[in-house]
């Protein structure tokens, strides 16, 4: 199983890993595959490599298939070691190859593999590359599932090389989904839930981009190549990434001094409702403790904010918080937020209160562990307020809280 043809002059040259594979604190009992693809055009091009554990083996195999000095491009869709892990070993032998990737991926590859002295071709969303007989088109797909990711499309073959997207973790030697011994739909869905679901808004953006091209086959990085009914798998992503939290409720309570914390509350509200969550927003100044308590008990997400004055919360919001944390908050999640001028103690004090309760406190650490995303900082601390990236950060925090459920 060194080389399997998937289209004219296009071949799978990856690695089947049929061990139980440690992955994201799980064990992939069915193993997986690391799918690398070689397009033997006038300018031979490799799309992704294999896991770092198999780097030497991969380069040896590839050198039996092609003179590595003739390799013109190595497309790196994603820098995780199961995709780019064999790159250093490969670039050692492929002396003339140019690395094709995103700006962010270049920065990360240089940090990981010290490839500063190699030639890069940086591509942006919609860029195309003539590889002599075929044309590649690139789409940036940030946070699917890491910041630098992109996907590649071959115009002539109508094949999508979507990296981690549309993958399954199943070690197999059949390669094509129509040859699979059993229905892979469930494994395909489980993979989505595990890797892509936390990034649902980005999946929606990616699906919009894919509407601009015709796709006959999907050749992902793991598991089966979807040559039979590719449309079914795109439809499944569409279905699974629809808003899914409409039966959940959120409550935002806040206390604001100059209005900035109130504006942040409104932005968080926007993010939550955009994600399909029924959300209520209460300024404690005009709401009774009984009302807030009742609504907190009926909510799945509780978000509490205050401005900071003299190193503390303002108004009587602390009385409200003391009552809320007496409730059984198991199964609920929440976070603290606020606008501040210099130190923002109120946000941390609210966070401490939440930690004392049995609510699941959303903070940057839990988000990184749950989703791999490091672009949302929680508790949400916003210096003063501006209708700029600070507002966007608050909207994003709302979206993330909705997805966290």
> Using CB under 6 A as the criterion, which residues of the chain lie in contact with ligand FEO when the complex forms?
78, 80, 82-83, 145, 164, 221-222
Phi, psi of 139 (to 5 degrees): -125, 125
Least distance (Å) between residue 82 CB and ligand FEO = 4
Contact at 8 Å (CB) between 154 and 215?
Answer: no
Q: Which residues contact 398 (CB under 8 A, 6 or more apart)?
A: 267, 268, 269, 270, 271, 272, 273, 274, 275, 279
Least distance (Å) between residue 284 CB and ligand FEO = 43
Going by C-alpha positions, the residue among 287, 341, 336, 280 that lies closest to residue 315 is 287
Phi, psi of 370 (to 5 degrees): -85, -35
Cβ nearer to ligand FEO, comparing 82 with 300: 82
Cβ nearer to ligand FEO, comparing 81 with 276: 81
Cβ nearer to ligand FEO, comparing 17 with 164: 164
Give strand pairing partners of 98.
73
Exposure class string for 157-187: b at 16+ Cβ within 10 A, else e: bebbbbbbbbbbbbbbeebbbeebeeebeeb
CB neighbours (10 Å) of residue 129? Answer: 18
Cβ nearer to ligand FEO, comparing 40 with 51: 51
Least distance (Å) between residue 181 CB and ligand FEO = 23
Least distance (Å) between residue 34 CB and ligand FEO = 8
Cβ nearer to ligand FEO, comparing 144 with 265: 144
Q: Give the residue closest to ligand FEO by C-beta.
A: 80
Least distance (Å) between residue 88 CB and ligand FEO = 17
Residues found in the chain: 405
Least distance (Å) between residue 220 CB and ligand FEO = 9
Cβ nearer to ligand FEO, comparing 140 with 164: 164
Contact at 8 Å (CB) between 79 and 148?
Answer: yes
């Amino acid at each position: 199983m060194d080389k399997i043809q998937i289209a004219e002059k296009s071949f799978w040259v990856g690695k089947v890993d049929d061990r139980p594979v440690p992955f994201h604190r799980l064990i992939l009992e069915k193993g997986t595959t690391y799918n690398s693809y070689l397009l033997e055009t006038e300018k031979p091009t490799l799309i992704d490599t294999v896991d770092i554990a198999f780097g030497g083996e991969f380069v040896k195999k590839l050198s039996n298939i092609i003179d590595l000095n003739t390799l013109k491009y190595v497309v790196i869709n994603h820098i995780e070691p199961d995709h780019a892990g064999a790159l250093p070993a490969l670039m050692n032998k492929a002396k003339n190859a140019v690395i094709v990737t995103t700006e962010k991926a270049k920065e990360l590859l240089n940090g990981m593999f010290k490839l500063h002295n190699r030639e890069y071709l940086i591509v942006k969303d919609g860029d195309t590359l003539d590889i002599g007989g075929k044309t590649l088109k690139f789409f940036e797909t940030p946070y699917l599932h890491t910041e630098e990711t992109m996907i590649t499309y071959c115009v002539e073959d109508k094949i999508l090389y979507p990296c981690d997207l549309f993958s399954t973790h199943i070690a197999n030697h059949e390669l094509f989904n129509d040859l699979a011994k059993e229905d892979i739909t469930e494994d395909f869905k489980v993979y989505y839930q595990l890797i892509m679901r936390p990034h649902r808004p980005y999946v929606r953006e990616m699906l919009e981009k894919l509407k601009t091209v015709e796709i006959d086959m999907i050749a992902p990085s793991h598991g089966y190549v979807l040559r039979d009914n590719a449309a079914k798998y795109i439809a499944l992503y569409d279905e699974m990434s629809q808003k899914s939290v409409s039966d959940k409720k959120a409550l935002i309570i806040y206390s604001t001094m100059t209005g900035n914390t109130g504006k942040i509350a409104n932005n968080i509200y926007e993010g939550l409702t955009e994600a399909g969550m029924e959300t209520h927003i209460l300024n404690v100044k005009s709401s009774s403790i009984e009302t807030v308590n009742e609504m907190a008990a009926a909510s799945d997400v509780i978000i509490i904010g205050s401005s900071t004055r003299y190193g503390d919360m303002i108004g009587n919001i602390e009385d409200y918080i003391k009552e809320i944390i007496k409730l059984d908050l198991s199964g609920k999640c929440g976070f603290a937020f606020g606008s501040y001028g210099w130190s923002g103690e109120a946000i941390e004090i609210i966070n401490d209160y939440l930690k004392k309760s049995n609510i699941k406190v959303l903070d940057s650490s839990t988000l990184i562990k749950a989703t791999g995303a490091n672009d949302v900082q929680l508790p949400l601390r916003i210096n003063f307020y501006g209708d700029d990236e600070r507002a966007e950060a608050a909207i994003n925090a709302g979206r993330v809280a909705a997805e966290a459920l």
